[in-house]
């Protein structure tokens, strides 16, 4: 890899042969298509392969390589890695918090057994491996305001338990086998052109859809439930930056990243500045509320900022403006 200048991330260039060959699992979830787009602009269209067990929409199929991959099928995974000479693996397959509670056996299998396959494939083939963790890796006995990188982690969801397991296993493989494991704990991610599935922070995406479509929104969390959140562009850029960070800048292998923190009430107020007619009512989902009440309210990401220069671009007003612009453009 040739680094032509040290500061700006846009100035790092890769020679033809140095391009990473990237495989993204769980590629049809909330983040995969956006990450593929970002990485393809940087490394070339054919050097980034999206994968999933579902059939992609035509737009995804035509935008670059897509392949069937089942993370529970070790031989299928190995074949893909070998045949495509994969060097980086971004492992996005997972069941999120609320849907995981509704199907613990499946969440255990995808989030834990699937991860074991990914770790073994990555270690066996010398891959650089990114696995996202989450604010959900903390629990009611963690400090919640703010939550540092290193503290008590006793989550009460299968999702959280599986993510603590992923953090610890990745770090263990790093120390034991030299696996180049990199992990970010994501806040709730807000995106306009892709939807999350089965999370606790999903209300903060749904509110935009309903506000634009009907002018009304029924929120499943209490108005004062404070959670860390981030706009998708910041999340994808953080992922690219930590993957490109020189190993000697990483004092840890699992980092909190953050951008903002808000409650449903605060998000509503910000939206009402531009849509005064918006009506929000509350119908609390006890499962999601209990999960949210056990999660961080504010996330301390000072280590990411210090070690590899993490800096978010979007706070609450910019997030709301960007989301509304997108939907208004779409409905025009």
Q: Which residue is nearest to ligand AKB (CB)?
A: 199
The Cα–Cα gap between 161 and 113 comes to 13
By CB under 6 A, residue 256 contacts ligand AKB: no
List, in order, residues 6 or more apart from 331 with CB less than 8 Å away: 212
Question: Considering beta carbons, is residue 51 or 200 the nearer one to ligand AKB?
Answer: 200
Containing 320, the helix (H) or strand (E) segment is helix 316-331
By CB under 6 A, residue 136 contacts ligand AKB: yes
User: Per-residue x/- mask for ligand AKB, residues 71 to 110, rule CB under 6 A?
Assistant: -------------------------xx-------------
By CB under 6 A, residue 134 contacts ligand AKB: yes
The Cα–Cα gap between 11 and 131 comes to 25
CB 282 within 8 Å of CB 128: no
Helix (H/G/I), strand (E/B), else coil: 297: coil
Listed in sequence order, the DSSP H helices in 229-301 are 232-244, 264-272, 286-293
Catalytic pick from 159, 186, 203, 314?
A: 159
Least distance between ligand AKB and beta carbon 96 (Å): 4
Question: Considering beta carbons, is residue 51 or 201 the nearer one to ligand AKB?
Answer: 201
Question: Considering beta carbons, is residue 93 or 201 the nearer one to ligand AKB?
Answer: 201
Q: Select the residue interacting with ligand AKB from 201, 239, 256, 261 (CB under 6 A).
A: 201
Containing 130, the helix (H) or strand (E) segment is strand 128-130
Least distance between ligand AKB and beta carbon 144 (Å): 14
CB 191 within 8 Å of CB 34: yes
By CB under 6 A, residue 260 contacts ligand AKB: no
Helix (H/G/I), strand (E/B), else coil: 146: coil
By CB under 6 A, residue 188 contacts ligand AKB: yes
Least distance between ligand AKB and beta carbon 26 (Å): 13
* Residue 281 β-bridge partners: 218
Binding site residues, ligand AKB, CB under 6 A: 96-97, 134-136, 159, 188, 196, 199-201
């Amino acid at each position: 890899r040739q680094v032509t200048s040290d500061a700006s991330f846009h100035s790092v260039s890769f020679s033809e042969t140095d391009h990473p060959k990237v495989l993204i699992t769980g590629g049809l979830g909330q983040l995969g298509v956006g990450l593929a787009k970002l990485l393809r602009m940087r490394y070339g269209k054919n050097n980034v392969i999206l994968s999933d067990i579902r059939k992609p929409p035509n737009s995804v199929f035509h935008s670059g390589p897509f392949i069937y991959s089942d993370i529970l099928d070790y031989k299928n995974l190995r074949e893909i890695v070998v045949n495509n000479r994969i060097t980086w693996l971004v492992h996005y397959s997972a069941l999120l918090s609320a849907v995981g509670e509704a199907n613990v056996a499946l969440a255990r299998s995808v989030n834990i057994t699937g991860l074991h396959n990914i770790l073994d494939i990555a270690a066996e083939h010398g891959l650089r491996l990114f696995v996202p963790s989450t604010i959900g890796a903390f629990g009611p006995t963690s400090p919640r305001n703010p939550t540092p990188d290193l503290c008590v982690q006793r989550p009460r969801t299968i999702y959280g338990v599986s993510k603590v397991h992923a953090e610890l296993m990745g770090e263990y493989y790093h120390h034991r086998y030299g696996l180049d494991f990199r992990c970010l704990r994501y806040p709730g991610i807000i995106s306009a052109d892709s939807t999350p599935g089965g999370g606790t922070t999903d209300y903060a995406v749904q509110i935009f859809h309903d506000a634009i479509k009907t002018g009304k929104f029924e929120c499943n969390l209490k108005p004062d439930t404070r959670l860390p959140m981030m706009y998708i562009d910041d999340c994808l850029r953080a992922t690219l930056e930590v993957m490109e960070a020189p190993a000697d800048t990483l004092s840890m292998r699992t980092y909190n990243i953050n951008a903002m923190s808000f409650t449903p009430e605060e998000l509503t107020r910000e939206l009402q500045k531009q849509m005064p007619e918006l009506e929000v009512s509350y119908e609390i989902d006890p499962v999601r509320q209990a999960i949210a009440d056990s999660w961080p309210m504010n996330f301390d990401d000072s280590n990411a900022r210090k070690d590899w220069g993490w800096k978010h671009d979007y706070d609450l007003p910019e997030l709301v403006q960007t989301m509304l612009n997108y939907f208004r453009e779409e409905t025009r």
